[in-house]
Amino acid sequence: MSTYILKRFLQLIPVFLGATLLVYFLVFSLPGDPIVALFGDKPVNEAVAAKLRMQYHLDQPFWMQYLLYLKSIFTFDLGQDFSGRPIAAVLGEVFPVTARLAIMALIFEAFFGIVFGLIAGLRKGKLFDATVLVASLVVIGIPIFVLGFLLQFTIGVQLGWAKPTVSSAATIPDLILPAIVLGLGSFAYVLRLTRTSVIENMNADYVRTATAKGLSRFQVVRVHILRNSLIPVITFLGADLGALMGGAIVTEGIFNVPGVGNRLYRAVLSGEGPTVVSIVTVLVLIYCLSNLLVDLLYGWLDPRIRYDS
C-alpha cells in the first residue's frame, strides 16, 4: 500500500515538470509585449521598461526564463506579480476562496445528486424518475454562463434571496448561490450516474439473496444497493473536485468572486507569465492529488481491487 502511494507521488514529478513547461511556453508565445501594455495609453519610458524587463527576466531567451522560474520555485520565492505583490501571497489569498467555493459545490452536487438519483432509481419509470431525468437533461444542456446569469438575476436581483455578487471577504453565505451554479452541471451527472447504478444493482443476485435473508427493504437499500452503487459515483466526485477548482473561472466571473479563476483571468490578459504558471501548476497538482485520492477511495470501497501487491 505505502509503496503504491510512494509510486504515485513519484509520478507527480514528471507531471509537474511537463505542466509547468507547457504552460510557460503558452504564456511566452502570447502575442503582444506585456511591459508595453503596462504603460496603457501613456508613452513608453524605455529606461523603466528595460528595468522591468530585467526584473521579470523578459530579456532572457525562453529556456533561460523557464529555468530561472524553476529555480525560484525550489527556493520558495515565486517572485512578484506586476503590481509588486509576492505571488506566494496572491496564491494564499485566492486559493482558500476557490477551495471553499469548490467544496461547497461538491457537497451540494454529491448530496442532492445521490439522494435524487437513489430515489429516481428505486422508482424507475415513475413520475419522480421521469421528471428528474428531464430536468437533469435540461441542466446539462444549458451552458453554465446562461444558468449563472439566470439564477443571479432571478434569485439574486428579483427575489432578493441571496446577494447577487460576492463581497471581498467571500463568506460561506455569500458563496451559496455561486456554489449551486458551479455544481449544477455535475449534480445532473451525479444524479444520472447514481440512478443508472442503482437500477443495475437492484437486479443483482446478491440483492435478491439479501431480501431472502429477511432484511427489511430499508436495510437492503442501505447496505446492499447504496454502497455498491456509490463506487462509480465517488470516483466521479473525486475527479470532479479538481475540475471544479479549475472550472470556477466562469462562475467567479459572473458573481465577482475574488478567487483563483478571477485572478488567473486577469493574469492571462496582462501576460504575467510567472503568476499564470504558478496558479496553473497548483491547479494541476490539486488535480493529480484528487485523482490519487479517488484511486485510494476506490480500493477502499471495492475490496476486489485493493492495491496490496
**Residues engaged in binding other proteins (CB under 8 A):** 203-206, 208-217, 219, 223-224, 227-228, 231, 301-304, 309
Choose between 168 and 216: whose C-beta lies nearer to other proteins: 216
Name which of 143, 142, 147 is nearest 255 in CA terms: 147
Choose between 51 and 217: whose C-beta lies nearer to other proteins: 217
- Supply the minimum distance, in Å, between the C-beta of residue 105 and other proteins: 28
Query: 214 in the Ramachandran plot: left (φ > 0), alpha (ψ -120 to 50) or beta?
Result: left
Name which of 78, 63, 54 is nearest 276 in CA terms: 78
Cβ-contact 66, 24 below 8 angstroms: yes
Choose between 201 and 290: whose C-beta lies nearer to other proteins: 201
- Supply the minimum distance, in Å, between the C-beta of residue 61 and other proteins: 42
- Supply the minimum distance, in Å, between the C-beta of residue 204 and other proteins: 7
Please give the radius of gyration of the chain, using alpha carbons only, rounded to the nearest integer: 24
Choose between 107 and 223: whose C-beta lies nearer to other proteins: 223
Choose between 42 and 213: whose C-beta lies nearer to other proteins: 213
CB neighbours of 158 closer than 8 A, spacing ≥ 6? none
Cβ atoms within 10 Å of 139's Cβ, excluding its own: 17
- Supply the minimum distance, in Å, between the C-beta of residue 76 and other proteins: 35
Choose between 158 and 219: whose C-beta lies nearer to other proteins: 219
CA–CA separation, 164 and 182 (whole Å): 15
What sections of the chain are H helices per DSSP?
A: 2-28, 34-38, 46-55, 62-74, 87-122, 127-141, 144-151, 172-202, 205-212, 217-219, 227-247, 249-255, 260-270, 273-301
- Supply the minimum distance, in Å, between the C-beta of residue 208 and other proteins: 6
Choose between 229 and 262: whose C-beta lies nearer to other proteins: 229
CA–CA separation, 76 and 24 (whole Å): 18
C-alpha cell of residue 287: 488535480
- Supply the minimum distance, in Å, between the C-beta of residue 294 and other proteins: 17
- Supply the minimum distance, in Å, between the C-beta of residue 309 and other proteins: 4
Cβ-contact 259, 94 below 8 angstroms: yes
- Supply the minimum distance, in Å, between the C-beta of residue 214 and other proteins: 3
Cβ-contact 175, 257 below 8 angstroms: yes
C-alpha cell of residue 237: 466526485
CA 253 centroid distance within chain: 15
Choose between 23 and 118: whose C-beta lies nearer to other proteins: 118
- Supply the minimum distance, in Å, between the C-beta of residue 191 and other proteins: 22
CA–CA separation, 25 and 269 (whole Å): 16
Choose between 16 and 298: whose C-beta lies nearer to other proteins: 298
